[in-house]
Amino acid sequence: MASTRSELYKALLAALIQASKDAGITQVELAARIGQRQTFVSKYELGERRLDVAEYIAIARAIGAEPFAMIRVADASAK
């Protein structure tokens, strides 16, 4: 299994966190939107929990971001 600290994963996570901040959504609010606890959001933001693709897409959509555009940007920045 690849490290959760790969450059691409860090770029993906940073994009997700920034989109959430830009939208003014708290961890508690985001957790409620995706049907999880606040600790779930905290753990993936801290890199303690790795997100799978389906979770990433669901979170991005809950924030109001376009997940595939975020993935393309993160991919380009990680190269």
* pTM given for the model: 0.89
Q: What is the pLDDT of residues 17-56, one digit of tens each?
A: 999 999 999 999 999 999 999 999 999 999 999 999 999 9
CATH 1.10.260.40 at 7-78, yes or no? yes
**Pairwise CA distance, residues 50 & 78, whole Å:** 17
What pLDDT was estimated at residue 3?
53
Helices marked H in 4-52: 7-23, 27-34, 38-45
Please report the pLDDT score of residue 1 as a whole number. Answer: 46
